[in-house]
């Protein structure tokens, strides 16, 4: 069994066991066993006798986030954690009392640091507060106030002329219908712009031949 220090590295923390043999699908209750050579064979959690990973001992009956929260401070202490993803939609906090733990190249978005942490070092990590807003998309927010700052896909939105201003977020959560209508509107606008461009090109072409 790998040491905890090693287990925590290169770990898809919210989707798999420490050794990567078992993966959990986002829809609750589905576990996949990695049978080797990159393939997944699908096995349901209800399959007989599967309660923990036979290689790393990970508890497969619990939610990955629950397993993560259950790790004691001493598990993290003295660890060098590389390239793992600890992002969860809901904020969770590393336990109090961690000493000397370095995260390198990890995704710690929505991971809160304990008030009593000595020597938690973040190197090349991301640790943003991300909250789904009334427009039903994820925005980077202020850690203290929770106020939205910018959408997580800022560059794409700027390129496509979509809203990047937190002040223009809808006052109430968009319904599925409203969301669908909005997406349709964007598609229509894009198609209209393409059609107008074509009209302009054809018009210029025709005018060139008198």
- In the complex, the residues that contact Zn ion under the rule CB under 5 A are 17, 19, 21, 53, 55-56, 58
Q: Minimum distance from CB of 69 to Zn ion (Å)?
A: 18
Q: Minimum distance from CB of 54 to Zn ion (Å)?
A: 8
Q: Minimum distance from CB of 145 to Zn ion (Å)?
A: 39
Return the number of the residue (19 or 98) whose C-beta is nearest Zn ion.
Answer: 19
Return the number of the residue (71 or 174) whose C-beta is nearest Zn ion.
Answer: 71
Q: Minimum distance from CB of 74 to Zn ion (Å)?
A: 21
- Separation of alpha carbons 107 and 88, rounded Å: 10
Phi and psi of 83, rounded to 5°? 60, 35
- CB contact set of 84 (below 8 Å; sequence gap of 6+): 8, 9, 10, 11, 12, 13, 103, 106, 107
At 173 the three-state DSSP class reads: coil
Return the number of the residue (12 or 100) whose C-beta is nearest Zn ion.
Answer: 12
Return the number of the residue (24 or 128) whose C-beta is nearest Zn ion.
Answer: 24
- Separation of alpha carbons 169 and 181, rounded Å: 16
């Amino acid at each position: 069994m790998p040491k905890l220090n090693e287990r925590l590295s290169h770990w898809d923390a919210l989707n798999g066991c420490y050794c990567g043999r078992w993966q959990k699908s986002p829809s609750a209750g589905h576990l996949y066993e990695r049978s080797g050579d990159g393939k997944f064979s699908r096995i349901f959690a209800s399959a007989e006798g599967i309660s923990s990973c036979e290689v790393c001992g990970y508890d497969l009956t619990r939610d990955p986030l629950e397993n993560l929260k259950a790790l004691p401070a001493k598990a993290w202490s003295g660890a060098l954690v590389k390239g793992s993803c600890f992002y969860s939609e809901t904020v969770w906090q590393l336990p109090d009392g961690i000493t000397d733990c370095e995260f390198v190249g990890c995704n710690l978005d929505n991971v809160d640091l304990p008030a009593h942490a000595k020597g938690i070092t973040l190197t090349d990590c991301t640790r943003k507060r991300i909250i789904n807003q009334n427009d039903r998309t994820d925005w980077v927010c202020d850690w203290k106030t929770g106020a939205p700052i910018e959408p997580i896909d800022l560059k794409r939105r700027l390129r496509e002329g979509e809203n990047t201003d937190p002040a223009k977020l809808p006052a109430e959560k968009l319904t599925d219908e409203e969301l669908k209508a909005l997406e349709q509107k964007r598609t229509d606008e894009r198609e209209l712009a393409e059609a107008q461009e074509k009209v302009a090109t054809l018009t210029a072409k025709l005018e060139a031949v008198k």
